[in-house]
Copies of this chain bind each other. A is one copy, B any other.
Amino acid sequence: MGKRNLYLKTIPVEEAQALYQDALKAIAVRRTEKIPVEESLGRMTAKAIYARCCSPLFNAAAMDGIAVIAKETAGATQENPLTLVRGKDYQIVDTGDPVHPPYDAVIMAEDLLEAEEDVVQIMEAASGWQHVRPIGEDIVAGEMLLPGGHKIRPIDIGVLLSGGILEVDVIKRPRVGLIPTGTEIIEPDKEPGEGDIIESNSRMFAAMTINYGGIPHRYAPVEDDYDKIKDAIKKAHEENDIVVVNAGSSAGTEDYTVHILREMGEVLVHGVAIKPGKPVILSIVDGKPVIGLPGYPVSAYIDFENFVRPVMDKMSGERHYAGHTVKAVLSKRLVSSLKHREYVRVKVGKVGDKLIASPLARGAGAAMSLVRADGFCVIDQNSEGVEAGETVEVELYRDIEEIEHTVVSIGSHDLILDFLADLMPLSYPGTFLSSTHVGSMAGLMALKRGETHIAPTHLLDEETGVYNVSYLKKLFPGKCMALIKGVKRIQGIIVQKGNPKGIRGIEDLTRVTYVNRQRGAGTRVLLDYRLKTAGIRPEEIDGYDKEAATHMAVAALVKNGGADAGMGIYSAAHAMDLDFIPVGEEEYDFAIEQESLELEEIKKFLEVLKSSAFAQKAREAGGYDISHAGEVARL
């Protein structure tokens, strides 16, 4: 075997953070700069700002009308109107005009009787300073406009300028150098070959850096070469306040980062009890923080949040919360190890009054799960897990307002869910569809537990030959249920282009390799039914136990040679340019409680199902009959 580092020893997250923050105390300091107020939006004030002048700058009319001398209007009444002459007794003023001595009050235009040109009558005396905005009413010269440590908003820009301030001292944005490393890494604009990994982490880090108030500097990828990586770190170290090296932070044969950082400076931490994200390196090189992060996108993301963001915050004086924390009910049991703190990605939906958190894939490589998730459920290192139904804290990275306007769908998978998720926010900005694919039965169980608004389902009643209805009646006794009609779709066997194995139907599955769907999926129920009809036992099929979670995953496995055949829908075969042997048509509908039909978001969902935009997408995908889409059948 090649040379490997000692296997990482890990320390708890807080300990690593505290140790590093402590070591950085004297180093990661705030620096300030002076910038024009007009360019200060979102910047943090470095110290209190005091007004240079008053606003208004002078006594000003607060109404359109005339400026008068209050004590000379005494005695005016309805019965005894007082006559005033322009230039002598009054001046015409519009709102905002100065009120000069000897004038000290304003009478509104509506309260005047015009006697003749430049002569008016008033029927009520004016009190001193009425309808006059005194100098400094809004801002007094010398008063504090903003404290230090304040993030400048639009209204702050307004009052700073009104208070005579043109420049402000703000805290400098930390510059973050980002170095991608790895011989297998290629830039995104190159065509990737086998063994290549498209560089994306440094772009993700750059965007995170911007979101956290820093200035990102990305460098070109560096191959796995001790000296080249060292040179790259040197250069980034000169040009930035913080350096992030990604990846090579683990203990493999080609993981040089930790050795280089030990040579260049001091490594304080190598390995943290966090999952995903264990192989993180926290070091200080010549007075600046240099951090090594692992390469898997989810690990990289979580470690940036936990170890780079706090260092940035220390320099920027800002305080970025990991996300708004909410309480949610966990929909599925989560087991975790005492060896680490685990960040489990969860989808969060609001169903009724409850927020529901549904765990997603936990692998460090599953970047899409981070895209699909709404937040993290953090399981403490001293916890072995959380039971379903328990209330957990979720760090949201999606707006709670968005979640509150999201239709939650848990159940069977179909490509039309993507079309609907696409069309919802485009048709009704601010409303969304979020779907989790667990199969028809599991979806209905989630609906029963109140964890979802709708449950897409295609379950065949073998006795009646009718889809879905009998399952709802059996599972929801005494409840007023409904089916939102979705599509009729063609199920069949997905095979490689040109059908090289000559598969003609179910009976041929015994002589090829197969990929199945997970237990409870309607497609699997259909297969089992057809196998039974054909008198074939599951054991006769090579791959019956190999499971994929979606139609697209099945199609992808066939495409890549992982299996010769798999059951699925036509549109998935079509999308992957595969061949398709039809087996039968089925009804894919959305189970729902009748009272949920009153929700605004569900009404919008129905509109989208009935829209011509949806019809067009379904037509393009092929294999769908949408003639009843959006109709509601109350059971």
Contact = CB atoms under 8 A, between A and B. Distances in A.
Given A211-B154, A422-B144, A188 B161 contact: yes
Interface string A156-195: 1111111010100000000000000010100011001011
A475 interface: no
A555 B142 CA distance: 10
A2 B203 contact: no
B2 A424 contact: no
Given A114-B1, A140-B552, A429 B149 contact: yes
Interface in A31-90: 37-38, 41, 47-48, 53-58, 62, 64
Contacts of A401: 319, 321, 324
A136 interface: yes
A144 B189 contact: no
Given A47-B426, A161-B198, A64 B252 contact: yes
Contacts of A368: 138-139, 145, 159
A147 B425 contact: yes
A158 B57 contact: no
A206 to B, nearest CB: 8
A429 B140 contact: no
Contacts of A148: 422-423, 425-426
Contacts of A400: 324
A138 B367 contact: yes
Nearest to A300: B158
Give the size category of A's interface with B: 35 or more
A139 B419 CA distance: 18
A556 interface: yes
A427 to B, nearest CB: 8
A571 to B, nearest CB: 10
Given A1-B109, A96-B197, A429-B317, A155 B556 contact: no
A422 B48 contact: yes
B365 A62 contact: yes
Contacts of A154: 204-208, 211, 301
A430 B211 CA distance: 17
A370 to B, nearest CB: 5
A397 B370 CA distance: 28
A577 B286 CA distance: 48
A166 B137 CA distance: 55
A146 interface: yes
Interface in A343-380: 363, 365-368, 370-371
A57 B560 CA distance: 10
Given A154-B204, A252-B64, A422-B47, A141 B576 contact: yes
Given A57-B194, A154-B206, 4 more contacts: A140-B555, A143-B552, A161-B198, A318-B429
